[in-house]
Amino acid sequence: MTPLVWGIFAVLVCAIATIECAIVSARKDPRLFTSMIFFALNWAVLLPYYALQPFLEKWKELGEVAEFLPAYSAVLLLLTSEPLWREVTARSKPLVQSGQAKPSEIGLINVFSLRGLYLLVLPHVIPFVKEEPGQRQQVMIGLQTIFSLAGFFLIVWTLEMLTRRVRRGWRRKVWWGFLLVALIYAVAGTSWAVKGILQPGSRVPDDFVIAFAISKVLFSALFLVLVVSETASVRGRDEVA
């Protein structure tokens, strides 16, 4: 397979796997279900981005339009953490009483992630601003990077709070693996974003595309393991109650 096919295949697998996991395991938990749907959409909007790549050299202007899609994906990644934080909020009372969570931690995402929705409007305003060639693309790459990093941080932090009560369980070990994958993914993405800002129009190397594809699959797989196992633990507590 070509690197481009690797990229398309990776986001397709991530999107389908997340949707199926949401339908099968999280239907009765609205917060975790909503989080997984946002997560699936985060991958789904990247499908046309990869599909447009063969046409970017022929139509340069299309590249600026294509950069909107990763920016939308970044906002959806950020919004993925919001329902997870609501899940933490629902369990916050025992966590706060035990000293494992501070009240100030709960609800921070409710303000921050919703402000990310402004990014869905901002790209439509940018075309009306006078800019140098490639500047719009640089702005989109910068916004995408900021919101992606915020999304990575908040998802990792939220899942950490959900797994605090099982410090020695297997889910805690999975969380550490998830943290490692998220760090590698975030650092690689940021390094490429910096190059994209400094050198507009530069092409993503083939090995980077493949590495990103693998990172996406690992990131999604570990996220789904943690969230699906959390839905199972919730059902177990409900059945006991």
Alpha-carbon span 196 to 215, nearest angstrom: 19
Tell me which of 47-51, 128-132, 199-203 is least confident. 128-132
Alpha-carbon span 38 to 44, nearest angstrom: 10
Cβ atoms of 11 and 43 closer than 8 Å: yes
CATH architecture for residues 3-230: Up-down Bundle (1.20)
Q: Across 91-105, 122-136, 199-213, 224-238, which has the greatest mean pLDDT? A: 199-213
Model confidence at 108: pLDDT above 70: no
pLDDT at 225: 93
Q: What is the largest CA-CA distance in the chain?
A: 63
pLDDT at 179: 95
Whole-prediction pTM: 0.82
- The mean pLDDT of 159-181, rounded to a whole number, is 83
- Domain ranges in the chain? 3-230
Q: Distances from the Cα of 89 to the Cαs of 43, 162, 232, 233, 241, in angstroms?
A: 26, 10, 18, 17, 20
Tell me which of 48-62, 116-130, 208-222 is least confident. 116-130
Cβ atoms of 50 and 5 closer than 8 Å: no
Q: Residue 74: exposed, middle, or buried by beta-carbon count in 10 A (0-12, 13-18, 19+)?
A: buried
- What percentage of residues in the chain have a pLDDT greater than 90? 24
137 contact partners, CB below 8 Å, separation of at least 6: 63, 64, 67, 196, 200, 201
Model confidence at 7: pLDDT above 50: yes
pLDDT at 94: 57
Task: Quickly state the pLDDT bin for 26 (edges 50, 70, 90).
Answer: confident
pLDDT at 241: 42
Instruction: For the chain, give the mean pLDDT.
Output: 78
pLDDT (tens digit per residue) in 212-231: 899 999 999 999 999 988 87
